[in-house]
Amino acid sequence: MDKIKKGLGRGLSSLIGETKVEIQKNQLAISELIPNKYQPRKIFDETSMEELSNSIKERGMIQPIIVRKSNENKSKFEIIAGERRWLAAQRAGLHKVPVVVTEADDLKSLEFAIVENVQRHDLNPLEEAQGYKRLIEEFSYDHEKVSKFIGKSRSHITNSLRILTLPEDVIKLIETQKLTAGHAKILVGLNNASFVATKIVEKKLSVRQAENFVKIFKNKKQKSNISKDTNIIALELSVSNIIGLNVEIKNNKRNKGKISFEYKDLDQLNKIIDIIKSHY
């Protein structure tokens, strides 16, 4: 049992210890297993699934699937944790898979599934935060217990949960993976999170560029009581990213103004001149 537990992760090992291990079989036929009706994750990434399937083909299935006897079908075993591995094993052409059979009621089965999901490495930041939230609200975990089970720092858990405070439209962008975990961290706590998120997607800004955009936006607001048009700020950032120099655009209500390029040495000045010459 110790060898099996090593592959399960601290959280799942602890949960197995809290439930009675009724039978332990090294192998069960794939056809004997059925999905977990409490599986909180309904969509499995196709690329990730293909990678896991190829890994199983090459090295076999190292981590066992945790199952319980099905109440609906006495000849079957319901998957408590490991549905993704079960699906990948089918793709890989396996006929049998390693399992741990345990007794668990419906509530414990859901807890198993949530803990396994939040221990995965390919979750988007929203799925991760939602998993932590469910453990806290539905199973009375505190941040310390989540940290201990998942094997991540308490500050990571707290910061992850802050993502759920973002506006609904921003959460949707994270959910559809148009924004990364790095982008999400920048957006937490911003009053204009929706605007910044829109610009990140629109301009395809990297995390570093998004950080610069937020800094520029804040600096412009501090310098003047009259806030500059946000589209002008976005344009400044866009040009700065392309040429690698600070750019300031002053535009009045009649759409007249000037563009200033900041250079720090002769080489940077020559770069500006070369860019202008090459286009005119």
d(CA 72, CA 169) in angstroms, rounded, equals 40
pLDDT-based confidence at 32, cuts 50/70/90? Answer: very high
| Pairs from 240-243 (Cβ < 8 Å, separation ≥ 24) | 240/212, 241/205, 241/209, 241/212, 243/271, 243/272, 243/275
Active site residues per annotation: 83
**Residue 131 contacts residue 118 (beta carbons within 8 Å):** yes
pLDDT of residue 233: 81
Q: State how beta strands 99-101 and 96-97 pair.
A: unpaired
Nearest to 100 by CA among 25, 32, 29, 18: 25
d(CA 83, CA 94) in angstroms, rounded, equals 14
More confident residue, 86 or 265: 86
Q: What are phi and psi of 28, to 5 degrees?
A: -135, 150
pLDDT of residue 7: 40
Boundaries of every domain in the chain: 2-118, 186-279
132-165 tens-digit pLDDT: 888 888 888 888 888 887 778 888 889 889 999 9
Q: How high is the mean pLDDT of the chain?
A: 80
* Residue 2 pLDDT exceeds 50: no
pLDDT of residue 267: 80
pLDDT-based confidence at 73, cuts 50/70/90? Answer: confident
More confident residue, 45 or 171: 171
* Residue 212 pLDDT exceeds 80: yes
Count Cβ atoms within 10 A of the Cβ of residue 171 and give its class: 0-12 exposed, 13-18 middle, 19 or more buried: buried
* Residue 11 pLDDT exceeds 60: no
158-200 tens-digit pLDDT: 988 999 999 999 999 998 889 988 899 899 988 889 999 999 9
Residue by residue, DSSP assigns 158-185 as HHHHHGGGS-HHHHHHHHTTSS-HHHHH
d(CA 187, CA 194) in angstroms, rounded, equals 8
Looking at domain 2-118, which of 3.50.50.60, 3.30.2270.10, 3.90.1530.10, 1.10.3720.10 is its CATH number?
A: 3.90.1530.10
